[in-house]
């Protein structure tokens, strides 16, 4: 699976961080070598900014890395200097804080996501998308829908990630803008179709699930290479990426608790079919 530029950048940053720690350098010492700030080194190692080949060579020299290992990292650095993505035209409507998520989604090995009140983007039918963006009062609905449809190509890859969704039963009731049986029927039929794919799993968390409480929405991304796994949390003003090992494990544990309380895949399919039938009958009455 071809990695995105963002994925390569994060992988390079991880490799440089491991090399620095192994060589016994602090970020400030590396910053002194490069003639930059400690914050810049931290951004390079987190993969949030690119790094010049000359700076990579300086770091490798300082860390005592040469030969084949050095050439491998330099080749990764060359790959990571490509354009981070085409964010012009209709893609320009994607918020800057969501672009890293969009870049890395196709490169993930496994994605675990939990949503309490709405259907998540990759599962949304076009009818649901249109209704949602219209109700938000968006002026660029066409561009927003095109971007969301672009994301759905992740399911068409030769080796797509294992995408595991847990949805609260509430998401099956709450339509964008209120009561909309036609929208929700279309959405449920679309979701049932997606759930037939081998690497897409949809589990419903019923209202009577035995849990003390449920967390806010979040998504866990795991990667096949040394790109650092992370948790993504979206809020009204943007999105937060957490890759600290302890924080990451807290969310994995939370997802596991939700999964343990949620319905099995076939039970979830039966519930989705029941909801679809209710909406179908509502339209007919």
pLDDT digits (tens, 9 = 90+) for 157-178: 888 999 999 999 999 999 999 9
List the domain boundaries for the chain: 5-79, 89-284
pLDDT tens digits for 200-237? 999 999 999 999 999 999 999 999 876 789 999 999 99
**C-beta separation of 258 from 205 below 8 A:** yes
Q: Judge residue 139's burial from the number of C-beta atoms within 10 Å of its C-beta, 0-12 exposed, 13-18 middle, 19 or more buried.
A: exposed
Contacts of 223 (CB under 8 A, 6+ apart): 7, 104, 107, 108, 109, 229
Q: Which of 11, 168, 174 is nearest to 80 (CA)?
A: 11
Q: Number of helices (H) and strands (E) in the chain: give both, helices first.
A: 12, 6
Report the candidate in 200, 193, 188 with the shortest Cα–Cα distance to residue 128: 188
Alpha carbon separation from 53 to 58, 75, 77, 109 (Å, rounded): 9, 9, 7, 28
Helix (H) or strand (E) holding 97: helix 96-104
Q: How confident is the model at residue 1 (pLDDT cuts 50, 70, 90)?
A: very low
Stated pTM of the model: 0.77
Average pLDDT, the chain: 91
Q: At what angle do helices 5-23 and 67-79 cross, to 10 degrees?
A: 150
The Cα–Cα gap between 105 and 90 comes to 19
pLDDT at 84 over 50: no
Residue 283: CB atoms within 10 A of its CB come to 11
Per the CB < 8 A criterion, the answer to whether 275 and 188 are in contact is yes
Question: Lowest-confidence range among 13-27, 147-161, 189-203, 225-239?
Answer: 225-239
Element (H, E) at 205: strand 200-205
Largest CA distance in the chain: 75
List the one residue out of 225, 192, 173 whose CA is nearest residue 7.
225
Collect contacts of 157-160 with beta carbons under 8 A, ≥24 apart.
Answer: 157/1, 157/106, 158/1, 159/1, 160/197, 160/199
Q: Where are the beta strands (DSSP E) in 95-199?
A: 110-115, 162-168
Q: Look at 3-12, 56-65, 142-151, 180-189 and tell me which has the smallest mean pLDDT.
A: 3-12
Report the CATH fold assignment for 89-284. Answer: Endonuclease; Chain A (3.30.870)
On the 0-12 / 13-18 / 19+ scale of CB atoms within 10 A, 192 is middle
Q: Please name the residue that has the structure tokens 């994605």.
A: 111
CATH number belonging to the domain at 5-79, selected among 1.10.357.10, 1.10.260.40, 3.80.30.20, 3.30.450.40: 1.10.260.40
Task: State how far the Cα of 231 lies from the Cα of 222, in Å rounded to an integer.
Answer: 9
- pLDDT of 207 reads 97
Length of the chain: 285
């Amino acid at each position: 699976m071809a990695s995105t530029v963002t994925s390569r950048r994060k992988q390079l940053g991880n490799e440089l961080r491991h090399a620095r720690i192994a060589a016994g350098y602090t970020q400030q010492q590396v910053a002194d070598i490069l003639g930059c700030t400690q914050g810049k080194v931290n951004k390079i190692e987190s993969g949030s900014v690119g790094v010049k080949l000359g700076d990579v060579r300086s770091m490798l020299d300082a860390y005592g890395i040469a030969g084949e290992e050095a050439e491998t990292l330099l080749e990764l650095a060359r790959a990571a200097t490509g354009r981070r993505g085409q964010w012009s035209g209709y893609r320009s409507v994607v918020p800057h804080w969501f672009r890293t998520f969009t870049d890395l989604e196709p490169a993930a090995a496994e994605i675990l996501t939990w949503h309490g009140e709405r259907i998540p983007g990759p599962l949304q039918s076009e009818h649901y998308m249109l209704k949602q963006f219209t109700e938000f009062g968006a002026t660029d609905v066409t561009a927003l829908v095109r971007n969301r449809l672009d994301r759905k190509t992740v399911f068409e890859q030769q080796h797509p990630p294992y995408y595991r969704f847990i949805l609260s039963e509430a998401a099956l009731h709450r339509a964008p803008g209120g009561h909309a049986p036609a929208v929700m029927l279309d959405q449920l039929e679309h979701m049932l179709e997606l759930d037939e794919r081998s690497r897409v799993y949809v589990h419903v968390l019923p209202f009577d699930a035995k849990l003390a409480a449920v967390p806010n929405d979040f998504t866990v991304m795991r990667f096949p290479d040394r790109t650092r796994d992370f948790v993504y949390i979206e809020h009204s003003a943007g999105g937060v990426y957490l890759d600290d090992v302890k924080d990451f494990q807290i969310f994995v544990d939370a997802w596991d608790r939700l999964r343990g309380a949620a319905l099995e895949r076939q039970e979830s399919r039966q519930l989705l079919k029941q909801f679809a039938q209710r909406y179908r009958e509502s339209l007919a009455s």
